[in-house]
Structure formats: structure tokens, C-alpha cells
């Protein structure tokens, strides 16, 4: 017996089809976009600093021991978390007496504070290779916000050695050390208050 109702296309079918396609697209995106942990290779982690000395020239120095890791999604360029720890007693300026002075309570107070710690609080990508990193720097027991300019130099499988996918990164910022209570030599102009921090690193995807 023929139906008494006119034959019409079911109105919910386009909605159902659209929902299925949307869920499928989200599943594909989730499969591609995946945060991964990256560990900083200690053999390729350079931690430098530069500050004025009595107005004559800038003194260059390094911290020889540091470690860190972060969680990052290369597809979405989202940085989820990150931590860097630097040993204060590893400071090196190629002058033993000056290095010992830097380890004293006039500067780093390494006997009391063994590490400098940076914790990521946010990241904004400006392009495929550049971004701004926000975080908190703990130095001499004081925690203050800092902003670093970050450049992604390369992302590829390492051509030798460990042979893992690796990110090559550069980061720069300038801080006023007096903000953390390190005031030795500031008032008399013996040591500059502004310190440029220079980070060069390779991070291996885990």
C-alpha cells in the first residue's frame, strides 16, 4: 500500500553526515598533533652571559653544567611545559679568582643556592621559526618573570651519533640582576646591572 505521506529527504541526514566528517577530521588532527617530550642534550647546551666590567669592556662567562626538558607539539607550535636547571658552581669566566668571587655570596652564593631554575609559563609563536617564551627565573631564592626571544634553527633527524629527531634552538634575554637582590658593584659602577643571557641548545625528541 503506498504511503499517504509525501516522500521527502530525511532532514537529519546532512547533520549526521557533517558530524561524522567533523569527528573524522578531529581524529586525524589528534593523530597528527601530538605533544612530545624533548630532552636537552647536555653535550650541546651552551649557557652564556655577558655584563659590563667597570665600563671598559664586557665580561663573557658561561655555566658549564645545565639540564632541561620541555613538552612541545611541532605541528601546532604549542609549548606545554618546560624546565631548565643550571648549576651555579659551574660558572666559568676563564679567571679562577673571579670565578670564586662569582660563587661567593656577593653574586651567586653557590654554597646556599646550588641551582638557577627557569620554569616555562607560556609561549607565543610569531612564525614557523621565531617566538616569545615566558617563564619564571629563580635565582638567589627569588622568583621573577622573564621573557626570552627564541629562534628554531633546525628540526630534523640528527645526521650522526644518536640519529634521533632533534630541535636546534637559540634563546636570548637581558635581565637586571638587582631584581633578584644581586647588587654587588652596581652603585659604584664596577659591575653592570644588566646581564645578557645566551642559550644555544639541541633538544632530542624522546
The predicted-structure confidence for 63-78, as pLDDT tens digits, reads as follows: 999 999 999 999 999 9
Which range marks the domain in which residue 201 is found?
34-205
**Rounded CA gap, 192 and 59, in Å?**
10
Which tens digit of pLDDT belongs to each residue from 104-157? 999 999 999 999 999 999 999 999 999 999 999 999 999 999 999 999 999 999
DSSP assignment of 115-152? EEEEEEEEEEESSSSEEEEEEEEEETTEEEEEEEEEEE
Residue 26 lies in a domain: no
CATH at 161: 2.40.128.110
pLDDT per position as a tens digit, 179-193: 999 999 999 999 999
Number of domains in the chain: 1
Q: Is residue 134 part of a domain?
A: yes
Does residue 62 sit within a domain?
Answer: yes
113-122: per-residue pLDDT in tens? 999 999 999 9
Q: How confident is the model at residue 15 (pLDDT cuts 50, 70, 90)?
A: very low
Q: Could you tell me which of 105, 111, 71 has the C-alpha nearest to residue 89?
A: 111
- Does residue 6 fall inside a structural domain? no
Residue 10 falls inside a structural domain:
no
Residue 93 placed within a domain: yes
Amino acid at each position: 500500500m503506498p504511503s499517504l505521506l509525501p516522500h521527502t529527504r530525511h532532514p537529519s541526514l546532512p547533520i549526521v553526515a557533517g558530524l561524522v566528517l567533523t569527528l573524522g577530521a578531529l581524529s586525524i588532527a589528534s593523530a597528527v598533533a601530538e605533544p612530545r617530550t624533548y630532552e636537552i642534550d647536555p653535550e650541546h647546551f651552551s649557557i652564556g652571559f655577558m655584563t659590563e666590567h667597570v665600563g671598559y669592556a664586557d665580561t663573557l662567562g658561561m655555566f658549564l653544567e645545565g639540564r632541561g626538558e620541555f613538552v612541545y607539539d611541532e605541528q601546532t607550535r604549542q609549548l606545554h611545559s618546560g624546565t631548565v636547571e643550571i648549576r651555579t658552581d659551574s660558572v666559568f669566566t676563564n679567571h679562577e679568582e673571579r670565578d670564586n668571587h662569582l660563587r661567593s655570596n656577593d653574586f651567586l652564593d653557590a654554597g646556599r643556592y646550588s641551582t638557577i631554575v627557569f620554569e616555562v609559563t607560556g609561549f607565543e609563536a610569531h612564525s614557523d621559526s621565531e617566538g616569545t617564551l615566558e617563564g619564571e627565573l629563580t635565582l638567589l631564592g627569588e622568583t621573577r618573570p622573564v621573557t626570552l626571544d627564541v629562534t628554531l634553527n633546525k628540526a630534523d633527524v640528527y645526521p650522526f651519533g644518536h640519529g634521533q629527531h632533534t630541535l636546534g634552538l637559540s634563546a636570548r634575554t637581558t635581565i637586571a640582576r638587582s631584581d633578584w637582590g644581586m647588587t654587588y658593584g652596581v652603585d659604584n659602577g664596577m659591575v653592570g646591572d644588566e646581564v645578557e643571557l645566551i642559550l644555544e641548545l639541541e633538544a632530542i625528541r624522546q
